[in-house]
Amino acid sequence: MESLKPRDKKEERVTLALMLLLMLFGYVLIHDLLGGTLLAHSAWDSYTLQSRSWLEGRLDLGRNYDYLELAIYGGKYFVSFPPFPSAALLPFALVFGEHTPNNLLVALCAMASAALVYRFALRARFSPQHGALLALFLTWGGNLMWMSTNGGVWFMAQSLNFLLLLLALLFALKNRRVPAYLMVAFAVGCRPFSVFAFLPLFVYFYDRDRGEGRGFFRTALMQWKAWLPVAAVALAYMWYNWARFGNPLEFGHNHLPEFTEAQNGQFHLSYLAENLFNIWFRPVSLKLNLALDYPVFNGFLFYVANPFFLLLFAAAVRNLIRRSFSPARAALLAAMLFNMLALCIHKTFGGWQFGARYTVDMLPLALAYYLLSPRPGAGEPRLRAWEKAAAYFGILFNVYGALAMNFLYA
């Protein structure tokens, strides 16, 4: 095998700095088109309102905001989303009041996520240039691109969830179990189906602990300390839900008028087939005048909107052919499958969106699978031509999508 070359640390740092400057300049340009909004506050921000209510000693918002998705319970109005982003926004709410710079914050989440992906790529021995492209692929080459241009409640939750799951991967690779589990627990407070990420995390550490003469339960119990902060966070979520809705498992969505008036409620198996069809088979097409035709409700082909999944599929097929599935990679695939099925029994798959943005929640797991999968060939890994083409396509398509959702569908 070709010997590995020593890495140029200065080149790695310069490449990272240039990538982040490019992203920042891109956000300046996009927000300039939107009227100079990078430092502005998006009004679709339930989380800052919730933070302000906490600071005033209330769990409800005190009044209705008819442009937000608010739960109605006992004649009061509550934020219908899990609470962790509001906790993260508390210091900003203290300084800026109701007008937090949430547009800037979601952009910074995306930039921090890109820096983490770049770090993972270097750790996997990709060159700085290929690592930077991979980082831009994950962040700007998927639906996170549009989400990172607006600090609204939906996008804040998914952007922060994305970053937290990447941080969990970082700590897992460093064998720092307590913070790895804690990051997933925080992510559940952004997107509840991130709970499935506990499965590959547990399997990854279990595989490291497994030894001769040590049974399953004895090996599993070696992780008990890491579960203590998870239990504390879970109890905090449950108390918060009970205090607001009298149900420790209710974050609030079931009390939205959209779901209280639905015949089958928020989750039902009757939604599964249509949602699966939409995200696997509903295409983007061209009209006779070459204008794009795609739905903005309930998603279209998720692997076109987020083409990094194509790299996941290719890696999984290689592993299947070579019969080289490790327990951690199998657990990652299972977690993504469970996440997708859970999303697809939801009444909607996202409204007023470009692509299938709910599937962005699975991208950190897809990245972990990709990086943990052996790649053919000798020497340091490289993005193959078709992978680079998928990256360029994803970036172009999603920059278009971010602009289209603001100018064509606003």
Among 67-81, 126-140, 258-272, 368-382, the least confident range: 368-382
| pLDDT of 154 strictly over 90 | yes
Among 2-6, 178-182, 183-187, 391-395, the least confident range: 2-6
The whole-number pLDDT of residue 215 equals: 87
Nearest to 368 by CA among 307, 312, 310, 305: 312
Residue 240 lies inside a defined structural domain of this protein = yes
The whole-number pLDDT of residue 243 equals: 96
Confidence of residue 2 (pLDDT cuts 50, 70, 90): very low
Give the amino acid at 131: G
| CA distances, 296 to each of 160, 305, 306, 354, 363 (Å) | 23, 12, 15, 6, 21
Confidence of residue 333 (pLDDT cuts 50, 70, 90): very high
| Range among 103-112, 217-226, 257-266 rated most confident | 103-112
Query: Which residues does residue 77 pair with via DSSP β-bridges, in sequence order?
Result: 72
Residue 3 lies inside a defined structural domain of this protein = no
Residue 1 lies inside a defined structural domain of this protein = no
What residues make up the domain containing 85? 9-407
Beta carbons of 64 and 256 less than 8 angstroms apart: no
Residue 2 lies inside a defined structural domain of this protein = no
Residue 375 lies inside a defined structural domain of this protein = yes
pTM over the 0.75 mark = yes
- The encoded tokens of residue 77 equal 């109005």
Residue 210 lies inside a defined structural domain of this protein = yes
Residue 253 lies inside a defined structural domain of this protein = yes
Residue 383 lies inside a defined structural domain of this protein = yes
Confidence of residue 331 (pLDDT cuts 50, 70, 90): very high
Confidence of residue 114 (pLDDT cuts 50, 70, 90): very high
Domain count, the chain: 1
